[in-house]
Structure 1
Amino acid sequence: MKTKFGILPLIFFCVQLSAQKTVASDSISRKKLQAIKKDQTIKIDGILDDEIWKNVPVASNFVERQPNNGRPQADSLKTEVKFLYDDTGLYIAAQMYDPEPSKILKELTERDNIANDDFFGIIINGYNDHQQSLEFIVTAAGVQVDGKLTTENEDMSWNAVWYSAVKINDKGWTVEMKIPFFELRFPKKDIQEFGLNMIRKIKRTNTMYDWNHVDNQKGNYTLYDGVLNGVTEIKTPTRLSFTPYFSTYVNSFDGKTEMNVNGGMDLKYGINDAFTFDMTLIPDFGQANFDNSILNLTPFEQQFAEQRSFFMEGTELFSKGDMFYSRRVGGSPSRYPDTTENETVTEYPSKVKLFNAFKISGRTKKGLGIGIFNGITEKMEATIQDNQTRAIRKEVVEPWTNYNVLVFDQRFGGNSSVTLVNTNTTRTGDFRDANATGLLWNIANKNNTYNYYGNFKGSWVMDGDTKFGNRGTVGIGKFSGKNRFEVNANYVSKDWDINDLGFSTKTNYGNHNVWYGYRILQPTGKLNNMYLNFNLNYYHRLESFLNQKLIFNHNNSFTNKKFQSFGGGVEFTPYGEKDIYEPRTFGRYLKVPGYFDSWLWFESDSRKKLQYNITLDYYAYDQKGRNYVVPSLYLRYRASDKLNLIWKFNPVFSNNEVGYSGKDPDNIYMGRRQRNTYENAITGQYTFNEKMTLALAFRHYFSDVTYKQFYILDNDGSLNANTAYNPSLNGTYNSWNVDLRYSWWFAPGSQLTLLYRNATSNYLEISRMRFKNNFDELFSTPMINNFSLRVTYFLDYNRMKSWF
């Protein structure tokens, strides 16, 4: 039987490849370092004067990774690192030599942020499998940064509790660190062998160094670690911690003031050496960052980034295959109440309350990653009032709901993996349920120069009848050397739908893509790096078959020896497009004229006090008077190592675009319109020290749309002018948000946050207003004024038991 794009043969091919023993990482030279068990107390103060440090083996001879890959580190800038350990954790002492200590860059930032900073870090892999490492980085300003590093991504949302201190001295600068064993993952055995690499960044020259050389020609960073030996007879500690929270809110809106107090707790438990259980009880997300809402005239919903810490931390497994969109958990209700002519909905919940959620995740010593997520949301009701009798009734708009995600990810051979993902949504009562399953593979050859990848996914939606949809991808790519390429094909069936626990938009299409890229691997002439990319994309409708569009794209980027980056590109559709989504009706399409898009961008040296980024993107359509212009400006001023200000200005001008405007049983109507959008965003930070920050975030978004003419859409995708259809669709949307936040990490893992929030938005059925009149209308709209205080406190079981 013939299958779409040869999915079944490729799965068989990938299984055969996975059965082969791939030992590419064995050919990589690995440095070795011995850790010594300490028998004295060490004070973590950044001053390396403890007697015990004197006779400890030294790791040195770092190698440059960027920009001159493979060059030995100069003696004047040498790095020396020592490791000790005891029954509770690893101790690290690092001396970063620098002949000009006064030029060491040390901008203060919030935790997990690196700005204009020198930094030092260790990357440690407890299973020594080249697959899963933990990063612990300290900047020269003393700011901690930590994350999880896998062969596929770097998850900086993961936070650990560890200890560090820095000092700048006449030799350069020093770091002392303690990494508790309860934050690491390693097998239960008497003699440990940890994968280890160490990094150092000298910001004023933008050079990056590694202890174990990382070859930029091929492979993944995790393949290139060395080995830390000498850690013996360590008992895996009990990994149990509690983070209770207390929060209080004062909300003022439209003359009404409300106050509420909340309390709850996050729990983290190490089930064994590999797996961790995380749970949030009575969660509170009231201080999550605001969403950047827009005037959305597309056929699809707007996707928002996750802002809630529980759903952001430790999600590297759950993000596999892009099947889990965590904003669905605790999102909007799935129904709107049915009403009669005499009824009005007086209260409708904007968000569903999360009752609790947990996740279990980890990876075994044989490379099998397992992730389990479960969340339960509460029943939510709308209030409906009878306009004649004034009687009140309730209607369930979201029942008690269970969300579940299950992931199995088997990694092998350094850069290869096969993954199975399942998501499930179960609602009580007669509400719809859903399930989705995906098989993914990414197989690298023995030399880590080529990869063969793909996926096959299915979705089932049970809402009376069962609707089944599917999608798949196959591809091959060369990801080594100067010349790289990729060829892939994918399809999405018309019934593909994962929107109960995932995010999906366009369906019923096939796509074929060819990509070629060229890069330089060493600085040459006036350039530090160069990337040239060429893409050819072909799209077609599946049911019934229809050629949609052919797109050619070329983009490039360069960085010169002054560390200024610039580039640009062109893109064009020589035959135009048949848009199958804008008509909002299955089987119909809108003819869109071809366009030629060109863009340029420039980014100044980020080390300077004033940094600016400028972009100009211009679409010229093969239609008189139709174009799309997207300029943008980014300015960042570093007033001092403590004060940082950023302004972003992003206007968009769309002239004579054509979009959906309505339909009746006989016709689909389109409108020719003018859209102008202005987005201003200002952020500022004053960082008192490495633990205390005052931050400002402001955004004003303003977009208006003016319709000029209406048309009837013909069956062949063309337009016929229609003067009888003339609805009032002009409008202006404003969104205003201000957050002023004070944060204080007053103890390891413990934080106090005081937040003031001012927000409002409005939509007016009028366009082309004067700027002053628009602001007058906006500020006459009731505004939300919110004051909140949230305190979290980290409690470690190993410390708590000593109290008693």
Structure 2
Amino acid sequence: MTKILYILLLLCAVGTTMAQTKQPIPRKSYTTRALGNTPAPVIDGSLSDEAWNTVEWTGDFIENLPEENTLPIEQTKFKVLYDNEFIYFGFKCYDKNPKEIVKRLSRRDGFEGDWIEVNISSHNDKLTAFSFAASVAGVKSDGFISENGTAWEGNWNPIWYLKTNIDEEGWTAEFKIPLSELRFSNAPDQVWGLQSTRRYFRTEERSLWQRIPLDAPGWVSEFGELRGIKGIVPKREVELRPFLVSKMENYPAEPGNPFKTGRNYDLNAGLDAKVGVTNDLTLNLTINPDFGQVEADPATLVLDGFQVFYPEQRPFFIESRNIFNYTFSDSQDNLFYSRRIGRTPQGWVSSGENSFVAMPDNTAILGAAKFSGKTKSGWSIGVLESVTSREYAKINQAGNEHKELVEPLTNYFVGRVQKDFNNRNSYLGGMFTSTLRNIQSANLDFLHTSAISSGMDFMHNWKNRKYYIRGNLLMSYVEGSKQAILATQQSMTHLFQRFDAKNVEVNPERTSLTGTGGRLVIGKASDGNWRYRAGVTWVSPELELNDVGFLRQANNIRQEAFASYVTLKPFGQFRSVEVYLDQIADYDFDGNHNNLQFLLGTNATLKSNWTFGLQALYKPVNYSISALQGGPRVRNSEEFFKSFSFTSDSRKKFRYNGAVYSNKGKNNSLSYNEFNFGLVYQPVNAFTVSVIPSYALNKNKAQYVTQNQLADGSRYIMASLDQKTISAAIRFDCNINPDLTIQYYGQPFISQGKYVAFGKVANPTARNFEDRSSLFTKDQISADLINNAYLVDENIDGNPDYTIYNPNFSSVQFRSNLVVRWEYIPGSELYLVWSQGLSSYGRPENDLLDGLSTEILNGKPQNTFLLKATYRLSKHVKHKHL
């Protein structure tokens, strides 16, 4: 720890002494006017209305990419108007060759072809902004910007109006944005942050209204200003979106199973609501929500025992996600992981002979409310409350049907607050979460009855945001039955049962756990070519967040140092190049040094718009406290990882990308090779198809298999694994017009693994790989073909000591979604969805591609057809000045 503190202090001192004063870049300012008695412009893309003559043009855009601070190929100018209900933007994008303007259709937020964008920081807080963009084809793109441009929320879909037009001078665009979609104060004279960006597609050039250097300390903090907005009153939006869902499932019938008749039908309804409590703070409500139109998660197969992190895709939880975010490491670890709400039921049912079981696919969300927003004084506030229902498995045994509880009634609460101060250069925040379960069945005693976590975080920038220090502290408290706390102690996240652990031990009498964690990072973020940071993160052995958060592994102390060099001007054949070095060291709370790794990498963009990436990672110290899943700490061989990736020019109709990943262990103990190659073809502007196949080879001579408990101790069984995986992500987008789109996603996935050369762990931390395990001889292990297992007779006395079930596997999965989306009026949508799902187990002894033909192409998947209609009812209520 002392070395880590020295590194932090050294970087701080070096960074401060190297600080240089740079000439500030002048802030542009545009003064708008109210329409008054002048009729509002008609949004037709022509800019011909008299209203536009009441204000002046602003322009003089400056190039940002590829060569910052030079004149762009074509100039851009715009005007701004407003009235009591809307703010209007009119853009003129000059082009000497209007016939060459690229007019590509895409789904919303596609950012295809030529486009123009405006960012509005209506709180002028130097941190957050609203973004509205228009492609020349008339496709809208919008999002919410936070953390001074480092975070982008693209799933924010406000109601606004757009038209574009191509003429002899180039192309034009008119925006009409309701003031109710923005957040601003009730000051009589407003000053907003303002920025505009244009993409000139043919040369992939970006130009800006307000110049922002490539080494600037951020994005929003560098905006120009919009002045002249006077007398507008913030409005509270009240929006209701009732929906109706018709759902039919079709799947192979199972003879004799009353729950698998081959077809199910369901009619459901619910309500989403949004109420502007103030202009800054919004209350979102959902009753009986449906997320049937959400894209399926990618198929995965996990061999290390850890949980898989899936990104959130449900609209209710995505909106305002930046406010609820509380990451405390460079991984996905977070105090709030919204996928816990509505998860697959955690209980299970043991069925006997002549019985059938129907398990619910997920836990129904009875209702959820979210209160969130940011005030003009710099307070970010988020409160989320959700209740999920009891879920029951249906059991039919010899014709008698009953049900058994598999998920209890559960209440989730999340509270988040953060305050900006010091001229928006610093913030201090806190978070609190709780999970309360009403457990009424003994078979769910393995769940916590309550789980609480809390944390505080801070960040401070100085020297015009050139340097920063940030950190957080967090704690958790979980409570439950002895069975629940015992299960937590022995879970993959904690592994207290390791007999070589000195700092922790299993206590079957405990009914609670309390843990802590935190992080401290200091670094340089801007000004010049160099960026660097150093930090330390710790997670105590008892920290537990997985009731409503995400924590992969506890019991870790990590030290990290990172430095990068970024070019600021094109040179030779390169637009830009970044070279970086990352060093990481991991320790556990017993003081063991478990990991040391060095990563050297580079990313480059050529003037041809091709991009390349190279990485080399070396692990001279490589131990794991989790590889044996409850067994002792084990030493892994030194590893050397390499990767190469490339992407062709994204402007082309036919484009492709590829990547190669290769990892090699010393003594040939392990190897991993993965090959990805993607093809994207856009034959016409309205249609795009892509296929991204992947093939992976995984060989590990020390793959954990299982463990057995004998009178003289535990046996941790390892074997040599030969695993092959093939998958492909298939997509197509067909855009009839900006409001009617057809999207398809499909992924076949096949993974096959074969195990040979079984043995037991002998000396887990031996320096030589061969000494770490003892392979079974032919006399010690034999195959039991009838029971698909291996019999192990360690002392060769003719009596098997234990059994190892054959771990060979062949997992076949196929998931797909076809979604037709029609926004028939602004904010009201109609969805038609066809989903397919198939999961089965093939024969490991067959060829890998046999699973594609026998299990997927000739298989019988489950089909789900869904028709969902939403209708938006909206009303705006003016605020009263207090």
Tell me which interval the TM-score lies in, with the shorter structure as reference length. Answer: over 0.9
Q: Which moved more, 1:161-170 or 1:694-703?
A: 694-703
Structure 2: distance between partners of 1:466 and 1:772: 49
- TM-score normalised per structure 2: 0.85
Residue equivalent to 2:34: 37
Tell me whether 1:501 sits opposite 2:548 in the alignment.
Answer: yes
How much has 1:429 moved relative to structure 2?
3.3
Q: Following the alignment from structure 2 to structure 1, what is the Cα–Cα distance between the partners of residues 652 and 859?
A: 41
Match of 1:607 among 651, 655, 675: 651
- Note the 1:703-742 alignment, pairs <5 A: 703-717=751-765, 718-722=772-776, 723-724=780-781, 725=792, 726-742=804-820
User: Residue 388 of structure 2 aligns to which amino acid in structure 1?
Assistant: T
From 728, 733, 743, the counterpart of 1:695:
743
Q: Does 1:66 align with 2:72?
A: no
Trace 1:71-110 onto structure 2 (pairs within 5 A): 71-73=70-72, 77-110=74-107
Q: Evaluate the alpha carbon distance shift between residue 453 and residue 768 of structure 1 in structure 2; reply closer, same or farther with a 3 A threshold.
A: farther
Mapping for residues 436-455 of structure 1, pairs under 5 Å:
436-455=453-472
Mapped partners of 1:26, 1:406: distance in 2: 42
Per-residue deviation at 1:391? 4.9
The residue type paired with residue 583 of structure 1 is: L
Q: Which residue of 1 is the match for residue 866 of structure 2?
A: 788
- Residue aligning to 1:349: 360
Offset, 1:347: 2.6
* Amino acid of the structure 1 residue aligned with 2:583: L
CA deviation vs aligned residue, 1:268-324 (integer Å, no higher than 9, x gap): 111112101111112111222111121211120122222212112221111232221
CA contact (8 A) 1:147 1:159 kept: yes
Contact 1:590 1:713 in 2 (8 A): no
Gaps of 5+ in 1: 14-23
Alignment of 1:83-162 (within 5 A): 83-115=80-112, 117-150=113-146, 151=148, 152-162=150-160
Q: Deviations over 1:105-126 (max 9, x none)?
A: 22100011213x1111111111
Q: Deviations over 1:377-426 (max 9, x none)?
A: 00112234566xx6544332211111111111122344532221111111
Alignment of 1:266-665 (within 5 A): 266-321=272-327, 322-337=334-349, 339=350, 346-384=357-395, 391-412=400-421, 413-429=423-439, 431-432=447-448, 433-464=450-481, 465-480=511-526, 481-542=528-589, 544-575=590-621, 577-585=622-630, 588-624=632-668, 626-665=670-709
The CA distance in 1 between the partners of 2:425 and 2:154, in whole Å, is 21
Counterpart of 1:457 in structure 2: which amino acid? L
Give the Å deviation of 1:625. 6.6
- Given residue 582 of structure 1, which amino acid in structure 2 is its aligned partner? A
Given residue 548 of structure 2, which amino acid in structure 1 is its aligned partner? L
- Report if the CA contact (8 A) 2:238-2:877 is conserved: no
**Range with greater deviation from structure 2 (282-291 or 654-663):** 654-663
Q: Distance in 1 between matches of 2:744 and 2:662?
A: 32
Shift of 1:82: 0.7
Q: Deviations over 1:14-51 (max 9, x none)?
A: xxxxxxxxxx9996532111112112132100011112
CA distance in 1: counterparts of 2:26 and 2:276, whole angstroms: 33
Looking at structure 2, the residues matched to 288 and 65 of structure 1 have their Cα atoms a distance apart, in angstroms, of: 36
The one-letter code matched in structure 2 to 1:289 is: E
Distance in 2 between residues matched to 1:25 and 1:266, nearest whole Å: 50
SS at match of 1:775: helix
In the aligned structure 1, how far is the partner of 2:357 from the partner of 2:250?
A: 20
Equivalent position SS for 2:600: strand
Deviations 1:44-86 (A, max 9, x none): 0001111221231211111221111122445xx2111111111
Give 1:100's aligned amino acid: N
Q: Which residue of 2 aligns with 1:19?
A: none
Q: How big is the shift at 1:342?
A: 7.3
Query: CA offset at residue 768 of structure 1?
Result: 4.0
Aligned-pair CA distance for 1:352: 0.8
Pair 1:262-2:316 in alignment: no
Q: Deviations over 1:240-272 (max 9, x none)?
A: 111111211111112422221121121111111
Residues 471, 765 of structure 1: alpha-carbon distance in 2 compared, 3 angstrom cutoff:
farther
Matches within 5 A, 1:674-685: 674-685=722-733
What fraction of aligned residue pairs are identical, expressed as a percent? Answer: 26
CA RMSD, 1 decimal: 2.4
Counterpart of 2:551 in structure 1: which amino acid? S
CA distance in 2, matches of 1:473, 1:393: 50
Paired letter, 2:597: I
Q: 1:269 to 1:554 in 2, by over 3 A?
A: same
Instruction: From the superposition, tell whether residues 88 and 773 of structure 1 become closer, same or farther in structure 2 (CA, over 3 Å).
Output: closer
Q: Provide the rounded CA distance (Å) in 1 between the counterparts of 2:271 and 2:104.
A: 33
**What do the CA deviations read for 1:176-211 (whole angstroms, capped 9, x no partner)?**
011101101111122222111111111211111111
Q: Is the 8 A contact 2:4 2:535 kept in 1?
A: no
| Distance in 2 between residues matched to 1:511 and 1:690, nearest whole Å | 48
Return the alpha-carbon distance in structure 2 between the equivalents of residues 774 and 187 of structure 1: 59
Asked if the contact 1:738–1:758 (Cα under 8 Å) also holds between the matched residues in 2, the reply is: yes
Count of residue pairs the alignment pairs up? 777
**Cα distance in 2 between the residues matched to 1:745 and 1:340:** 46
- Residue in 1 that maps onto 2:496: none
Normalising by structure 1, we get a TM-score of 0.93
Indicate the residue corresponding to 2:485 in structure 1. Answer: none
Change (3 A) 1:4 1:551: closer
Greater mean deviation of Cα atoms: 649-658 or 528-537: 649-658
Three-state SS of the structure 2 residue aligned to 1:228 is strand
Separation of aligned partners in 2, 1:624 and 1:155 = 44
Q: What is the correspondence of 1:107-256 to structure 2 with a 5 Å cutoff?
A: 107-115=104-112, 117-150=113-146, 151=148, 152-255=150-253, 256=262
Shift of 1:629: 0.4
- 8 Å CA contact 2:351–2:357 kept in 1: the answer is no
1:17 alignment partner in structure 2: none
Q: Which amino acid aligns with 1:683?
A: R
Unpaired runs of 5+ residues, structure 2, are 13-20, 254-261, 328-333, 441-446, 482-510, 766-771, 782-791, 793-803
- Report the AA paired with residue 193 of structure 2: G
Q: For the residues of structure 2 that align with 1:78 and 1:153, how far apart are their CA atoms?
A: 29
* 8 Å contact kept, 2:128–2:144: yes
